[in-house]
Amino acid sequence: MESRDRELEGLFDAARARDERQVPPFATIVAPRRARGRAPRLGFALAVAATLLIGVAVWRLATPDQPKIVIAFTPGDMYVPTDYLLDMMSFPRAGEIPRIGAADWYPVPLADDASPDTRRTP
């Protein structure tokens, strides 16, 4: 063998001697796989799950809300379609004999100061 090969051999021998100090014991390798290998995997899985959760949360917060449908209604705007029946009861000419074809009902005009639910009283 060339002397240069011996030089390489010497280097590899030194590397081997150094590595032998770091070899894990045979019993450790043969023993059933302990949690050492699994713990980082579990931690890794948890980290991935946490990242996903944070991502979903951020996405939900960053997405603008859908426009809300607001039904605005106030008592004053309400119109009860059967009001005319009440008008009939309190109509001044209620005592008159109804005539065929007479316009005996009409929408109640509200007074300016009257509240929307004001009803005419007899």
Partner 1 sequence: MRATPAAAAASTDLDLRDELARVHSQAYAWAVRCCRDHRAEAEDVLHEAYMKVLDGRARFEGRSSFKTWLLGVVRHTAREHARRGWLRAIRLERWWRERNDDESTAGEDGRIGELRSALGRLSKRQQEVLHLVFYQNLTINEAAEVLAMPVGTARTHYERGKHRLRALLGESEER
Tell me the C-alpha distance between 76 and 109, whole Å: 14
Nearest to 84 by CA among 102, 98, 104: 104
Q: Give the phi and the psi of residue 72 in degrees, each rounded to 5.
A: -90, 120
Distances (CA, A) of 74 to 50, 78, 114: 48, 7, 16
Asked if 9 is part of the footprint of partner 1 (rule: CB under 8 A), the reply reads: yes
Q: Which is nearer to partner 1, 20 or 77 (CB)?
A: 20
Asked if 20 is part of the footprint of partner 1 (rule: CB under 8 A), the reply reads: yes
In sequence order, the 6+-apart residues with CB closer than 8 A to the CB of 78 are 116
Q: Per-residue string for binding with partner 1, 30-59, x by CB under 8 A?
A: x--x---x--xx--x---x-----------
**Assigned token pair, 56:** 């979903």
Asked if 105 is part of the footprint of partner 1 (rule: CB under 8 A), the reply reads: no
Q: Which is nearer to partner 1, 19 or 77 (CB)?
A: 19
CB of 63 to partner 1, least distance (A): 26
| Chain residues in the site for partner 1 (CB under 8 A) | 4-5, 8-9, 11-12, 14-16, 18-20, 22-24, 26, 29-30, 33, 37, 40-41, 44, 48
